[in-house]
């Protein structure tokens, strides 16, 4: 089971770019319109949230924050990488997944995502040198951009996926995040604007990105030090795994409690 989990982790940490294993046979879809997104841009819509389930492995959240990039979260830990070779065959999309350097346990591989409905389907991942993994996924929408585009645009350019999964754009501007690490020590951030933060009462400054739908928070200080963690959406306190990395360094993970007030 541990080996299976490791394989899935790399699968997901590489990014959830699912490759086509279904072929052209679309016998389950009698509508004449594919369930799968028609364009690459629709598959990697930055507002789309892919939730992947594999028995005994937990839940993986996948997003595509920028062109050619993926971001995944599993058990509070975040991984990033690049996606390439996106190709569609019927209701399936295939892709090559490549993790960024210095991410322990991450592996490159090929994935297949086959839509069996407008917002759901099955996935297959084949890591390099590892056994195949299978599961299911659902797709929802986070906070939509100005165009409000959907994830599952049909051949007519319409939007099949309904909006959902967002939290109404909840903001953390003006709030203070206090991290208290197990074993001692802590750090404090004050979010002074939608993108800027102060560190330790002005000792440093930082930029940040916060996803109100998933609670994923990424903070980067002026020296390039990066913090990634999940704050339970709508919470003012809780526990989190803080993933920390210095430029060119090896990521580390620390358990912490937090308050956000």
The pLDDT tens digits for 199-216 are 999 999 999 988 887 788
Asked whether the beta carbons of 248 and 225 are under 8 A apart, the reply is no
Give the integer Cα–Cα distance in Å for 230 and 218. 9
Q: Which residues contact 236 (CB under 8 A, 6 or more apart)?
A: 259, 260, 261
Q: Is the pTM of this model over 0.75?
A: no
How many beta carbons lie within 10 A of that of residue 166, not counting itself? 19
pLDDT tens by residue, 91-132: 999 998 888 887 776 778 888 899 999 889 998 888 888 877
Asked whether the beta carbons of 139 and 152 are under 8 A apart, the reply is yes
User: Which residues does residue 177 pair with via DSSP β-bridges, in sequence order?
Assistant: 189, 260
Up-side HSE of residue 197: CA atoms within 13 Å toward CB?
26
Asked whether the beta carbons of 83 and 17 are under 8 A apart, the reply is yes
pLDDT above 50 for 235: yes
Residue in 217, 207, 127, 132 with CA at minimum distance from that of residue 179: 217
pLDDT tens by residue, 21-62: 444 444 445 555 578 988 998 898 888 889 888 766 677 888
The number of residues making up the chain comes to 261
- Provide the token pair at 209: 């990105």
How many beta carbons lie within 10 A of that of residue 224, not counting itself? 11
106, 107, 195 from 6: Cα distances, Å: 9, 10, 34
What is 176-260's CATH number?
Answer: 2.40.128
Give the integer Cα–Cα distance in Å for 202 and 31. 59
Instruction: Specify the CATH architecture of the domain 2-141.
Output: Beta Barrel (2.40)
Q: What is the DSSP letter of 81?
A: E
2-141 and 176-260, same CATH topology: yes
17, 46, 186, 243 from 71: Cα distances, Å: 11, 10, 26, 14
Domain spans of the chain, in order of start = 2-141, 176-260
Q: Regarding predicted confidence, which is higher, 169 or 130?
A: 130
Up-side HSE of residue 14: CA atoms within 13 Å toward CB?
24
- Provide the token pair at 53: 């389930």
């Amino acid at each position: 089971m541990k080996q299976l989990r490791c394989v899935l982790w790399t699968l997901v940490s590489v990014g959830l770019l699912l490759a086509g294993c279904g072929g052209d046979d679309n016998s389950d879809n009698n509508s004449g319109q594919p369930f799968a997104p028609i364009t690459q841009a629709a598959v990697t819509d930055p507002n789309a949230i892919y939730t992947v389930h594999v028995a005994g492995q937990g839940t993986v959240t996948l997003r595509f924050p920028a062109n050619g990039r993926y971001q995944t979260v599993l058990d509070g830990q975040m991984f990033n990488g690049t996606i390439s070779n996106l190709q569609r065959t019927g209701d399936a999309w295939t892709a090559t997944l490549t993790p960024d350097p210095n991410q322990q346990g991450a592996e490159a591989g090929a994935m297949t995502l086959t839509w069996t409905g407008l917002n759901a389907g099955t996935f297959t991942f084949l890591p390099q040198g590892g056994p195949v993994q299978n599961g299911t996924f659902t797709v929802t929408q986070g906070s939509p951009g100005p165009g409000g585009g959907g994830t599952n645009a049909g051949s007519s350019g319409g939007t099949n996926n309904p909006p959902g999964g967002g939290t109404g754009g909840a903001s953390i501007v003006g709030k203070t995040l206090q991290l208290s690490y197990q074993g001692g020590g802590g750090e404090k951030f004050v979010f002074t604007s939608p993108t800027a933060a102060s560190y330790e009462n002005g000792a440093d400054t930082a930029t940040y990105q916060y996803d109100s739908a998933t609670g994923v928070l990424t903070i980067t200080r002026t020296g390039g030090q990066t913090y990634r963690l999940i704050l339970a959406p709508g919470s003012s306190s809780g526990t989190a795994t803080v993933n920390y990395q210095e430029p060119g360094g090896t990521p580390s993970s620390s358990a912490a409690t937090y308050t956000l007030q």
